[in-house]
A and B are shown apart, each in its own frame.
Chain A
Amino acid sequence: MLNILVVDDSMIMRRNIKKYLTSLGHNIIGEAQNGEEAILFCQENNPDLITMDISMSGISGIEVVQKIKELNSDFSIIMITAYGKNSLVKEALQSGAKGYILKPVSEENLYESIGKIYPKYSNTTK
């Protein structure tokens, strides 16, 4: 079971991502609706995994990745993006994100992305 922080400025996305992750057997230890909240959370907590919307109001997801990696380079981050054709994803991965999911998000693509980072979760709940 992973302890996960969900970062997204969309209320329905936070709600559904939390539901999918819980269904996969993981523990949601926090949620943030912008980059500032995410950074504050990571200063005081150590999530195993962070799911992060790449495009948010205020600090962008990529800047948040950079700041969070400065706090602790071991944080694992999966970016969530709607962009099908864009170098933002490449930039996010270069900044230290470990994977990305192209919207729409589903339980299946969360499961696959987590399995790539944590192989022991690729043969369990599904």
Chain B
Amino acid sequence: MNDEEKVIHTYTKDVLLPIIKRVKTYLYDEMNIDVFNTSEITCPKNIHLKKNTVMIGTTGSIKLIITLGFDEELLNKMVETFLDGENISEFDLSEVRDSVACEVTNTIIGNAIDNPIDNSDIYITPPVLVCSAKTLNKEKNSKFAFITFITKYGEIELTAVGPKEQFENELKFIEN
């Protein structure tokens, strides 16, 4: 196994797997949306964030930036579920859409975040919405992990960004 594969394995096993699982259960249980395909986890050199992407940071002994990006149609479907048939003005709709994207991300990450290193508390920052599409380029000391979930309404992209050293030293993937 080369180093890149080991990083993927560590991310998958220790931090991302509970989040991947929660994305699927949240969409199914709360939104009645089935994830019918999930991509392999990759470690790309750069990532192009979708327009509707929410970023959350973790603090504590695991320091990551986690993003969830939603396709337009999927976000519209989630907004529809949150509003439960209630009509709102076009003026309010934009704020509601942003709020739903942030709330869904906050709930999924908050429900699923765990600390495999020392069981100490991991806290998450308030969610931040990326207003326009951005490309993140990997710097030599960072790592990306990237997963895509596919639904009939479009895709959700999950990205985790963290310092390379953290995953090498604290998760001890080299020794393992």
B and A form one assembly: yes
Number of interface residues of A (CB under 8 A): 22
- The verdict on B126 contacting chain A, using a C-beta distance below 8 Å, is yes
Separation in Å of the B18 CB from the closest CB of chain A? 9
Residues of A within 8 A of B99 (CB): 10-13
Compute how far the CA of A84 lies from the CA of B86 in the bound complex, rounded to whole angstroms: 30
For B173, list chain A residues within 8 Å (CB): none
Q: What residue of chain A has the Cβ atom nearest to residue B106's Cβ?
A: A82
Contact of A102 among B82, B111, B123, B124 (CB under 8 A): B111
> Main SS of the interface on chain B?
helix
Q: Across the interface, do B111 and A87 meet the contact criterion of CB distance under 8 Å? A: no
- With A55-B126, A104-B30 already in contact, the answer to whether A11 and B95 are too (CB < 8 A) is yes
Between A13, A57, A88, A102, the greatest number of chain B beta carbons within 10 A of the residue's beta carbon is seen for A13
Q: How far is A102 from B122 in the complex, measured between Cα atoms in Å?
A: 16
By the criterion of a CB under 8 Å from any partner CB, how many residues of chain B are at the interface?
24
Partner of A81, one of B100, B110, B115: B110
Given A12-B82, A84-B112; A104-B122 close (CB under 8 Å): no
* Closest Cβ neighbor of A11 among chain B residues: B99
* B172 CB → nearest A CB, Å: 22
1/0 contact string of A44-81 vs chain B (CB within 8 Å)? 00000000000111000000000000000000000001
Residues of chain B within 8 A (CB-CB) of A86 are 121-123
In the complex, what distance in Å separates the CA atom of A81 from the CA atom of B111? 9
Minimum C-beta distance from B68 to chain A (A) = 13
Partner of A103, one of B96, B111, B114, B115: B111
Contacts of A81 in B (CB 8 A): 110
Name A82's contact: one of B109, B114, B115 (CB within 8 Å): B109
Question: What's the nearest-Cβ distance from chain A to residue B168, in Å?
Answer: 25
Cβ of A9 to closest chain B Cβ, rounded Å: 7
A residues engaging B (CB < 8 A)?
9-13, 15-16, 19, 55-57, 81-88, 102-104
